[in-house]
């Protein structure tokens, strides 16, 4: 399943290879990926044909292409979706579902192709959605969005009495931080996921946010190496997951900081991984006890 950094890689690819081009033809090869377009496949094709793509935007894992009509082509990759930019002559992919013929001012025909084996993803036209599609307006910005408001995030975390990992996964507080990124960032920040948001200091939350960004940007760099000039690929796992994980999936392996065995516990039908020494569990029954660990830089405000 594409994580947010991979979706951002796709957005950048679209910005480079699709923005500025005119859609000259739309072919829907399977109805399921356009099921959320209420007008149906024919209407979907009709409102997109002869429109120019004027941007490539993202909110969380949703992508949209603002059009010169004021509408937007909105997409979600779901579990297995890919957006590929291919020469029109390239052989159709096995799971090709929707194809858009593009014409650029400098000539040369290309296609934007939506390929999706399992079809949990999809495409729709958001009427008047060029600026911000109504369908995604409820999703909070993510930490690698240039307009993310750090101090607002710090305030929201500190107003919540739930565990910090649960807060990180709450899409109304911050989007795009999945289970893997949460565990990795909490390890770097030396925070146990059950530490309560309301009990964290401002510097602790700011510090955690810095680590969330660090983890996501490292994955973005890895993902950014996986497409070339004409090929935007989201579906491949980025190499980041193999090389750079410190705790996620590392149960029983020594913590790279202190050597203590990494622990796995059940968490919301998934798993949490942490180092029991670097990330001590908050003592239950006395949640207001003062912090006893020296946290160094964390104590600066």
Query: Could you tell me which of 78, 182, 64, 83 has the C-alpha nearest to residue 121?
Result: 78
Interaction of residue 26 with Zn ion, rule CB under 5 A: no
Contacts of 129 (CB under 8 A, 6+ apart): 64, 66, 71, 72, 74, 135
From CA 164, how far away is CA 197, in angstroms rounded? 5
* Interface region with Zn ion, contact rule CB under 5 A, candidates 49-57, 62-70, 170-178, 259-267: 259-267
Query: Could you tell me which of 149, 157, 191, 197 has the C-alpha nearest to residue 173?
Result: 157
Nearest to Zn ion of 169, 275 (CB atom): 275
**Binding track, positions 270-289, relative to Zn ion; x by CB under 5 A:** -----x-xx-----------
Interaction of residue 255 with Zn ion, rule CB under 5 A: yes
* Sign of the alpha-carbon torsion through 92, 93, 97, 102: negative
Nearest to Zn ion of 267, 274 (CB atom): 274
Interaction of residue 164 with Zn ion, rule CB under 5 A: no
Catalytic residue from among 21, 61, 190, 213: 61
> Would you give the distance in Å from CA 70 to the centre of its chain?
25
Interaction of residue 257 with Zn ion, rule CB under 5 A: yes
Rounded to a whole number of angstroms, the minimum distance from the CB of residue 201 to Zn ion is 21
* 287 catalytically annotated: no
* 16 catalytically annotated: no
Burial status of residue 22 (CB atoms within 10 A of its CB: 0-12, 13-18, 19 or more): middle
By CB under 5 A, name the one of 38, 230, 258, 268 that touches Zn ion.
Answer: 258
Rounded to a whole number of angstroms, the minimum distance from the CB of residue 197 to Zn ion is 23
Angle between helix 202-223 and 150-158 (nearest 10): 120
Strand (E) or helix (H) holding 73: strand 72-76
191, 274 contact by CB (below 8 A): no
Rounded to a whole number of angstroms, the minimum distance from the CB of residue 83 to Zn ion is 40
Number of residues engaging Zn ion in binding (CB under 5 A):
7
* 165 catalytically annotated: no
Interaction of residue 263 with Zn ion, rule CB under 5 A: no
* 92 catalytically annotated: no
| Contacts with Zn ion, residue ranges (CB under 5 A) | 255, 257-258, 260, 275, 277-278
- Just list the catalytic residues: 2-3, 61, 270
């Amino acid at each position: 399943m594409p994580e947010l950094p991979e979706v951002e890689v796709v957005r950048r690819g679209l910005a480079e290879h699709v923005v500025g081009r005119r859609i000259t033809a739309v072919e829907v090869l399977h109805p399921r990926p356009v099921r959320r377009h209420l007008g149906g496949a024919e209407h979907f094709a009709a409102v997109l044909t002869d429109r120019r793509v004027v941007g490539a935007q993202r909110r969380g894992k949703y992508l949209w292409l603002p059009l010169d009509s004021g509408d937007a082509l909105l997409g979600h990759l779901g579990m297995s979706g890919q957006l590929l930019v291919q020469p029109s002559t390239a052989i159709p992919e096995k799971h090709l579902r929707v194809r858009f013929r593009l014409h650029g001012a400098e000539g040369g025909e290309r296609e934007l192709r939506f390929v999706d084996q399992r079809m949990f993803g999809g495409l729709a036209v958001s009427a008047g959605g060029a600026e911000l599609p109504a369908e995604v307006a409820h999703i909070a910005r993510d930490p690698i969005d240039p307009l993310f408001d750090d101090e607002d995030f710090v305030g929201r975390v500190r107003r919540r009495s739930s565990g910090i990992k649960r807060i990180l996964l709450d899409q109304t507080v911050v989007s795009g931080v999945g289970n893997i990124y949460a565990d990795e960032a909490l390890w770097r920040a030396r925070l146990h996921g059950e530490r309560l948001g309301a009990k964290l200091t401002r510097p602790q939350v700011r510090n955690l946010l810095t680590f969330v960004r660090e983890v996501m940007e490292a994955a973005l760099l890895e993902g950014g190496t996986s497409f070339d000039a004409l090929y935007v690929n989201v579906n491949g796992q980025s190499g980041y997951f193999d090389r750079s994980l410190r705790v996620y999936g590392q149960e029983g392996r020594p913590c790279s900081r202190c050597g203590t065995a990494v622990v796995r516990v059940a968490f919301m039908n998934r798993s949490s991984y942490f180092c029991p020494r670097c990330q001590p569990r908050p003592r239950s029954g006395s949640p207001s006890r003062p912090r006893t660990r020296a946290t160094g830089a964390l104590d600066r405000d």
